[in-house]
Structure 1
Amino acid sequence: MKQYLTIKDMERICQEINKKHIPDDSRFMQAIDDQYDEYGDADLDLFVTTAFKRMLAVLDHEITIIETKVGIESSCQSGCAHCCYFPVILTRMEAKLIAEYIEHLPKEEHAKVLEHLGNYYANADLQVVDELDFQADPYYKEKYITKHIPCPLLDQTTNSCLAYEVRPVACRTHFNYCHPQVCADQPIPDEVFSYEFLYEYYMYALVNTIQEAVLEEGHASIKLPGDVYEADYLIKLLKKGLIR
């Protein structure tokens, strides 16, 4: 039988990570150079979408490095979607990049995602989300979760993400290393661990990779710097015409 970590184990591991294993931004900075080496001559859309996926991959790699150093393995399992009912806040730029990724999916998959989103928003009551101010209400997350609002990108039949490769940073930095049952038993388990400290590196690298090209050539949807500084719920951003 697999032995899961306890909350005491995680407290000790958190301290170790904070003291010894917070990375610098070197791999993100290297990724900027790598992006220009590989895609510097590509058209703007390809350059931007590949830069987005590259920086997400670097973020994932940083997490794997930390996990290896402290000897932990996530207990998150395929088909578990408890955290897919959490509020996801992201910048307008990131939402547009996710939308662009979906627009370039293979024809059949693209049609499936658009049909899913059409059905989702036809039945979704977004008034509850509109009433929760994530900037002013310190308890917005708890209130959101109690409404049991699924992420618009969650396929509830399979409990899988329809845009997993480019899922938001909030999703890919949220991990459980203790027993999976804690996520079922508690709306916001104390046991979960977040690598949100990597977000600053990721966002800095992403913006610095694409901003010159976007500003010089003019991207069809991304508007800088405004889209970097405007944030909202993913569920609302996708509703606002990002995916038609």
Structure 2
Amino acid sequence: MSKFKSFEEMKQICEEINASHIPDGSRFDEAIDDILSDEESTADEVVANAYRHLLQTVDAEIETIEGKMKLSPTCRKGCAHCCYFPIIVTRLEAKLIWETMKQTMGEEAARQKITTYVENYKDKLSEITSLDFRTDADFKYKYISAQIPCPLLDTETNTCVAYDVRPIPCRTYLNYANPQVCADDLVPKEPFSYEFLYRYYMDGLHEVIEALLYGGEEVSFNYPFDLMEYDYLPNFLQEELKNEQPEP
């Protein structure tokens, strides 16, 4: 008996998850209470902690569902097929990822990483990050077909340079079928997306920031706009890099 789930099995699993295993949000409520109990950090630090904490809560919810459904991902370190997918985030998420990159890699290494990325893929990158993801029904296929890696991917090791703070789309897309399906098809039908967790995560970020602002705290970003503006991650990271460069 195959240890990999078939497409038909995944359809049944999807139906059962949607019918019986959508979370009630209580785990996110507990996370928010924990985040807001921090009275020593600055508002910006609390927001950065909230981003990490809520991402970890998403991971925990996925693990709970996997346990109930007896699922085990076939995704493995070094498998990077989905790292060529379009990753769409808010401006604030990109800022938080960028700050984490500078902290973990070092500022110069982080800047060089994005600079080299843009130089290597400049022509195709400009084309695919101009695709209208709101109106173009085929944008995902067009983007993936270009085979431009995510800016967070180390293409020598096939690992993520910001794995702990990788965005929601990266965390909620999981394969339980034969991993070969991801190699054989640009947009395989077998993988499962826990995209229903996005609402809890995003509502949590808004709730934390609004609580800080209502409490008289100040943040360095433009709320709510930075948490409502969406674009491709490469576009936002290029902007972050450009904003740090001294004017001539």
User: Please, which of 123, 127, 148 is the counterpart of residue 120 of structure 2?
Assistant: 123
C-alpha spacing 1:4/1:130, structure 2 compared with 1 (3 Å): closer
* Mean CA deviation greater in 129-138 or 48-57: 129-138
Sequence identity (%): 45
Aligned partner of residue 31 in structure 1, secondary structure: helix
Relative to 1, partners in 2 of residues 1:106 and 1:133: Cα closer, same or farther, differing over 3 Å? Answer: closer
Structure 2 match to 1:10: 10
Q: Distance in 1 between matches of 2:236 and 2:213?
A: 21
Q: Which residue of 2 aligns with 1:35?
A: 35
1:40–1:47 Cα contact (<8 Å) kept: no
- Give the counterpart letter for 1:30 in structure 2: E
What is the aligned partner in structure 1 of residue 75 from structure 2?
A: 76
Contact 2:75/2:174 (<8 A) preserved: yes
> After the TM superposition, which of the residue ranges 233-242 and 132-141 deviates more from structure 2?
233-242
Unaligned runs of 5+ in 2: none
Give CA deviations for 1:123-171 in whole Å, capped at 9, x if unaligned. Answer: 2223212431101101100010111111001000000000000001000
Distance 1:60 1:111 in 2: 30
> CA separation in 2, counterparts of 1:123 and 1:106?
20
Question: What residue is the counterpart of 1:140 in the other structure?
Answer: 139
Q: Distance in 2 between matches of 1:53 and 1:40?
A: 17
Cα deviation digits, residues 26-67 of structure 1 (max 9, x gap) = 110111111122x23312232121111000000000000000
Aligned-CA RMSD value: 1.7
Match of 1:164 in 2: 163
Between the two proteins, the alignment pairs up a number of residues equal to 240
SS of the equivalent of 2:89 reads strand
Q: Does 1:189 align with 2:188?
A: yes
Distance across 2 between alignment mates of 1:204 and 1:76: 28
Question: Secondary structure, in 3 states, of the residue corresponding to 2:104?
Answer: coil
Offset of 1:121 from its aligned partner?
Answer: 1.3
Letter in 1 for 2:201: Y
- Pair 1:114 & 2:117 matched: no
Partners in 2 of 1:127 and 1:241 — Cα distance?
16
CA offsets 1:70-128 (integer angstroms, 9 cap, x no match) = 00000001000000000001111111111122232264xx4433322221112222321
CA distance in 2, matches of 1:195, 1:130: 24
Please, what TM-score do these two structures have when normalized by structure 1? 0.93
Does the 8 Å contact 1:28/1:201 carry over to 2? Answer: yes
In the alignment, is the contact (CA less than 8 A) between 1:49 and 1:101 conserved in 2? no
Q: Distance in 2 between matches of 1:17 and 1:66?
A: 8
Structure 1 position 22 matched with structure 2 position 19 = no
The equivalent residue for 1:86 is 85
- Which letter does structure 2 place at the counterpart of 1:124? Y
| Runs (5+) with no aligned partner, structure 1 | none
Residue number in structure 1 paired with 2:151: 152
